[in-house]
Amino acid sequence: MSIVVTGATGHLGKFVVEGLLEKVPAEQITAVVRSEEKGAGFAARGVKIAVADYNAPETFDGLFAAGDKVLLISGSEIDKNRVAQHQVVIDAAKAAGVALLAYTSAPGSLTAALANDHRGTEEALLASGLPYALLRNGWYNENYTEQLAPVLQYSAVTHAAGEGRVSSAARADYAAAAVAVLAGEGHENKTYELGGDTAWSFAEYAAELSGQTGKEIANNAVPVEALTGILTGAGLPEPLAAILAGVDASIEKGELVVSSGDLSRLIGRPTTPIADSIAVALKA
């Protein structure tokens, strides 16, 4: 029996594998990567490496074994048919008879276009009849703190979320929740709504940035159409810009406030406040 992590060298996957190494022997972990080179660091520590790609279904043939627990980390290629990519993994997992397939989804409350692929994948997973765990990850602190350069350059947080609030948490928090499910017991056929303990507004985010940098950072709320234009002007393809601006529209409606407490319960500690992630990013 292995614990298998797809997308194991991605931003989230790396944290998951690191967390698993603290809980189970390395030889019980399989990291699914796109190339041997990407997995070399984990291989050196005893983790099994499997080379596979969501866009090449044949690469998943025989990858899983009966009794495996699998974490399907959602693909990052928003412009591809992500439901079809994920179906490849679901089909391979069903053929093998895995014990659990956990999927990193989006909050059930999110109606933005970004959530469509997640809803489609959840439907495919439930239709498969596999034992599942839906890890409905809320927004990551890093979605904001890794994009601080333009904010600091223009001394403004520009968004289309109005006075909406976000229950974000650090990427490492969501990874720890996945580790708890994969290394623990009793998570079959469960849905977890995951988000940070404390929701914040963009006005509060701008104020926190101002306090930590000593610069006056403005809270610049704009209409969704204006934000789409700003993002395309910065070089993003228009469909992607529209999707991202659509998330802000959902934030304004309160769709990224997650008050279940599931995340802190799963990880056994409070989630990481946005202020802490800002501090880390400013030191980097």
- Quick one: pLDDT at residue 173? 98
Position 284 confidence tier, pLDDT thresholds 50, 70, 90:
confident
Position 79 confidence tier, pLDDT thresholds 50, 70, 90:
low
Does residue 46 register a pLDDT over 70?
yes
Q: Who's near 104: CB < 8 A, 6+ residues apart?
A: 12, 71, 72, 73, 74, 135, 137, 174, 178
Does residue 159 register a pLDDT over 90?
yes
SS3 at position 74: coil
- Quick one: pLDDT at residue 107? 96
Does residue 5 register a pLDDT over 80?
yes
